[in-house]
Amino acid sequence: MTDARQGLSGLLDTEAIRKDFPLLDRTVHDGKKVVYLDSAATSQKPRQVLDALNTYYERHNANVHRGVYTIAEEATALYEGARDKVAAFINAPSRDEVIFTKNASESLNLVANMLGWADEPYRVDRDTEIVTTEMEHHSNIVPWQLLAQRTGAKLKWFGITDDGRLDLSNIDEIITEKTKIVSFTLVSNILGTVNPVERIIRRAQQVGALVCIDASQAAPHMVLDVQALQADFVAFTGHKMVGPTGIGVLWGRQELLEDLPPFLGGGEMIETVSMHSSTYAPAPHKFEAGTPPIAQAVGLGAAVDYLTSIGMEKIHNHEKAITEYALKRLLDVPDLRIIGPTTAEDRGAAISFTLGDIHPHDVGQVLDEQGVAVRVGHHCARPVCLRYGIPATTRASFYLYSTPAEVDALVDGLEHVRNFFG
Amino acid sequence: MKLDSMYQEVILDHYKHPHGRGLRDGDAEVHHVNPTCGDEITLRVKYDGETIADVSYEGQGCSISQASASVLNDLLVGKELSQAQKIQDAFLELMQSKGQLEPDDAMEEVLEDAVAFAGVSKYPARVKCALLSWMAWKDATAKALSEGKTA
């Protein structure tokens, strides 16, 4: 407990919110209360989402877009209703621009494959370039490496500065007339950095390149307005925003979705099929082959309702206050080095750090013994670890249900880690 | 406290004062990583006929992976290949036991300090850490054999 807590403002009523999340009430290791600080990996789920999943399966389960019977109509209405909710949540101009996928990885792979098989003017080939950044999650690196290998295109990337920001000093050399697509994260999952979207998009637009934004760490935590962003594609996942696993979203501009070819073929995505050829359904169905994750989409709709009822602005302010407090307290821990921005400016609620020479695996294990759940490792962002010359980090990440007392528990836990390995 | 069953004194000693660390001359070299956590090891084996003349290594990782490499060096250097394979099999059996195996005297005789890792086998996420250097040794030995460097 500390004076640093004084003056914390903008906090949500976490006592009330936490009642919605059954898991936060459980204990581990002989009665120690769980301190869940791994929401950047996946968030916990409120009762409202769990109930929506249950009700769907108990009352409305049927395949969508097929049957004419009552329950099938209900399932379709619920699935398509979830699309409406997501469209409103991200301020999409049209519900038809919202494609349901399995997760953000699939969304990003879908964009890479649309472009790989596209005709001009979108086609990525050996005379063109793809741009990403050193700060990305592997899911926004590997699909582009695959595309580059398969098409002969050149993959280029922005580096990172010592204080965890994108190095845009050479932006005009990185993004050129040859660039077809620029894909980058809005908020880094390992560094917590919020990136300057506008500057990158302005340059991409100058050269006529498409822009894809990985919003996996943004959609759960801040107002996400795809029209304000001015990107061409935005990808995110449901399970990090209090929704279930198995459901992701790709938003794309309507004219692009009309022009670009499908990737997965199958049921649902067709208009007519003969043994010689097929024609395709309009977007978004063109990109949703096979039976979709119906219950999961319904669950995501409930998640969006839940977040909206609290308010994304308020959630963002809460996390900013918690992050400021956590940074302040962590910087007081001896031998602790924050990997990423050390202030709450342009920063999300994931904080990575190293603790002297103690390996993050060992840090995480000793924290677990005290009920504190953090992520350790390279966080699917190994290039970032290489950039800073470290094998791995320990990452604490916060969400709408996180409290200052949980930050204190983390700091106390780290003291224990230092004693244990000291 | 449960943590002590994983972080035995023997393990922490090997972690803080590793035996045989550093890369020396060898017949074969391998580089293994644990992709989930970023632990890495570069390991070389040197054979003198059927005898393991040296196992040298360099790497970064948690206390469990580093201590395990140190114990491996202690146990295997100077042994005949056939005996080393028996030790490796015993260590693998122990690590895959999910904490259900209580090492008996016979096992202790084979594994010596390595029995201290029994507690680690209760933690599925950490078993890979303990096995990293052992898998690297197995791989390096296969490489050395296939290149005909041993008798």
Question: Is B36 near chain A, with CB under 8 Å?
Answer: yes
Between A68 and A312, the higher pLDDT residue = A312
* pLDDT value of position A246: 98
Partner-chain contact B37 A385, CB within 8 Å: no
From B2, B12, B37, residue closest to A361, measured CB to CB: B37
Contacts of B37 in chain A (CB under 8 A): 360-361, 376-378, 392
Q: Are residues A354 and A214 in the same domain?
A: no
Q: Are residues A133 and A203 in the same domain?
A: yes
Partner-chain contact B37 A392, CB within 8 Å: yes
Number of domains in chain A: 2
**Does residue A42 belong to any structural domain of this protein?**
no
Q: Are residues A160 and A235 in the same domain?
A: yes
Q: Are residues A64 and A187 in the same domain?
A: yes
Bridge partners, A397 (sequence order):
A38, A350
* ipTM of the complex, rounded to two decimals: 0.87
**Does residue A38 belong to any structural domain of this protein?**
no
Smallest CA–CA distance, residue B87 to chain A, in Å, is: 26
Q: Are residues A136 and A279 in the same domain?
A: yes
Q: What are the backbone angles phi and psi of residue A72, rounded to the nearest 5°? A: -65, -40
Between A186 and B151, the higher pLDDT residue = A186
| Measured distance CA(A392)–CA(A394) in Å, rounded | 7
Residue whose structure tokens are 């005290």: A370
Mean pLDDT of A348-360: 96
Q: Are residues A100 and A248 in the same domain?
A: yes
pLDDT tens by residue, A301-315: 999 999 999 999 999
**Does residue A148 belong to any structural domain of this protein?**
yes
Residue A1 has pLDDT above 60, yes or no: no
**Domain end call among A309, A339, A366:** A309
Domain of A177?
49-309
Those residues whose C-beta lies under 8 Å from the C-beta of residue B18, and which sit 6 or more positions away, are B66, B67, B69, B70, B73
Radius of gyration of chain B (CA): 15
**Does residue A412 belong to any structural domain of this protein?**
yes
| Measured distance CA(A238)–CA(A333) in Å, rounded | 34
- How confident is residue B38, by pLDDT bands cut at 50, 70 and 90? confident
| Arithmetic mean of pLDDT over chain A | 96
Residue whose structure tokens are 């793809």: A130
**Domain end call among A309, A326, A347:** A309
Task: Say if strands A154-160 and A129-133 run parallel, antiparallel, or are unpaired.
Answer: parallel
Report the range out of A299-313, B101-115, B117-131 with the highest average pLDDT. Answer: A299-313
pLDDT tens by residue, A81-135: 999 999 999 999 999 999 999 999 999 999 999 999 999 999 999 999 999 999 9
**Does residue A43 belong to any structural domain of this protein?**
no
Q: Are residues A192 and A331 in the same domain?
A: no
- How confident is residue B103, by pLDDT bands cut at 50, 70 and 90? confident
Instruction: Determine contact, residues A327/A151, Cβ cutoff 8 Å.
Output: no
Smallest CA–CA distance, residue A391 to chain B, in Å, is: 6
Q: Are residues A315 and A342 in the same domain?
A: yes
* pLDDT value of position B151: 47
Strand order in the sheet with A210-214: A98-101, A248-252, A233-237, A210-214, A179-185, A129-133, A154-160, A166-167
* pLDDT value of position B150: 52
Q: What CATH number does residue A349 fall under?
A: 3.90.1150.10
Q: Are residues A403 and A281 in the same domain?
A: no
Determine if the peptide bond prior to A282 is cis (ω within 30°).
Answer: no
Q: Are residues A204 and A270 in the same domain?
A: yes
Q: Are residues A349 and A324 in the same domain?
A: yes
Q: What is the pTM of this model?
A: 0.93
Bridge partners, A180 (sequence order):
none
Question: Is A421 near chain B, with CB under 8 Å?
Answer: yes
Q: What are the backbone angles phi and psi of residue A265, rounded to the nearest 5°? A: -105, 155
* pLDDT value of position B149: 54
* pLDDT value of position B22: 96
Mean pLDDT of A45-63: 98
Q: Are residues A22 and A140 in the same domain?
A: no
Active site residues of A: 380
Query: Coil, helix or strand for A356?
Result: coil
Q: What CATH number does residue A214 fall under?
A: 3.40.640.10
**Does residue A302 belong to any structural domain of this protein?**
yes
| Arithmetic mean of pLDDT over chain B | 92
